[in-house]
Amino acid sequence: MRRAEPWPRAILHVDLDAFYTSVHQRDEPGLRGKPVAVAGRSRRAVVMGASYEARSFGVHTAMPLHEALRRCPELVVIPPQQSRYREASRQVQAILRRFAAPEKIETVALDEAYLDITARTRHGTSAPEEVARRIKYSIHTEVGLTASVGVATGKLVAKIAGASRKPDGLVTVLPGIEADFLAPLPVGAIPGLGPRTEERLRLMGVRTVGDLAHHETQRLIQAFGAGGALLQRLAQGRDRSPVVGSRPARTISAESTFEYDVTDREELEVALRRLVDRVTRRLVADGVRARTVSVKLKLPDFRLVSRQVSRTSPTDDPEVIFRAARAALERSHLESRPVRLIGVGLSGLEHPRPEVQMTLFD
Ligand SMILES: [Mg+2]
């Protein structure tokens, strides 16, 4: 065995297997082992997802439903249920956030994401493949679905690796062998390379990714412009495209206008409590915590008064947030003037650090 090279970057591609139909087969045992497709009911409906059993009949995504039924008359057709797919996707996203910060998770679709786990690997706490194995295990035991995961130094190779052994696969391409891994594949395996480019490459004598990697660069540039050089870099396994994750919103706020001007502190606190509940629900749904709670009041002459209270550690506890909001209200409502509008804002939003959660997890 050759000596392991260090990972310049460690990228995972996580893809749930036959996502839509797997959700239905998970929930309805009678559907397991059967050819199942998710599709609308209209005459022009197309297949949104097909189970592996259906795929063995030649049924696949984006195929017209009437064609799918011709190929597989016993096909069980289920209307799409978006809320169930979103719920499963949300659970999987929560699992992924235990392994990488949200800015290092790029969600491509409900069932597909890239993770940049380089930081974890640098600290030497776990090998990339070990992280991949834990993610698969958590998705299987907590969500009841299987995922295929590709592990590589870049997104392209990770995606192709993961797709090469579905379902329930785990394929690692070690640093330094990216080009060897890609070489025997047909050029069409490069995501985004369409049939027309594939045909033009074929006419140039380029059939495999390896052919593309070794082709004369100048001729590729003549044929495809700057894109030709980029394509060749990908074929050589030199893929630096970053994982583009999500950033938390900057603030979450809510306000309500009174039907009449309010001076009574208790009445203001009741309104404040309702607003805090509202913003805290959104905070929790976004998976973030807030450091700063602010309260604003609009007076009958339309003047705005606002005060804020900051905490040293971020929180998503509604009681803690309410106490901070009440403290801010006390500071802004000193003279018991009438109030026509009250608002609450949460800022200094942060995602909980996955490192801390991993320590608990370990
Ligand atoms: Mg999938």
* Cα 325 to middle of ligand 1, angstroms: 44
- The number of C-alpha atoms within 13 Å of 23 and in the hemisphere containing its C-beta is 21
Mean of pLDDT values over 73-90 = 95
Mean of pLDDT values over 40-58 = 93
Given a cut of 70, is residue 359 above it in pLDDT? no
Strands 36-39 and 76-78, bridge-based pairing: parallel
Q: Residue 8, SS3?
A: coil
In order of their start, the domains of the chain are 11-18+83-178 (3.30.70.270), 25-80 (3.40.1170.60), 180-235 (1.10.150.20), 251-354 (3.30.1490.100)
Please write the tens of the pLDDT for every residue from 246-276. Answer: 776 789 999 999 999 999 989 999 999 999 9
Given a cut of 60, is residue 356 above it in pLDDT? no
Element (H, E) at 288: none
Average pLDDT taken over every residue of the chain: 91
Mean of pLDDT values over 177-188 = 95
Please write the tens of the pLDDT for every residue from 280-320. Answer: 999 988 778 999 999 999 988 888 999 999 988 999 999 99
CA distances (Å), origin 158, targets 77, 131, 238, 286: 32, 14, 12, 28
Note the pLDDT of residue 354.
57
* Cα 171 to middle of ligand 1, angstroms: 16
Q: Which of 53, 106, 112, 178 is catalytic?
A: 112
* Cα 228 to middle of ligand 1, angstroms: 29
Distance CA 8, CA 254 (A): 44
Give DSSP secondary structure letters for 52-81. Answer: HHHHTTT--TT-BHHHHHHH-TTPEEE---
Given a cut of 60, is residue 3 above it in pLDDT? no
Note the pLDDT of residue 337.
85
Given a cut of 80, is residue 2 above it in pLDDT? no
Note the pLDDT of residue 300.
86
Note the pLDDT of residue 353.
66
112 catalytically annotated: yes
Note the pLDDT of residue 124.
61
Note the pLDDT of residue 357.
42
Tokens 């450091």 belong to: 291
* Cα 148 to middle of ligand 1, angstroms: 8
Please write the tens of the pLDDT for every residue from 120-156. Answer: 887 666 799 999 999 999 999 999 999 999 999 999 9
Give DSSP secondary structure letters for 292-305. Answer: EEEEEEE-TT--EE
- pTM for the whole thing? 0.73
Alpha-carbon radius of gyration of the chain: 27
* Cα 166 to middle of ligand 1, angstroms: 9
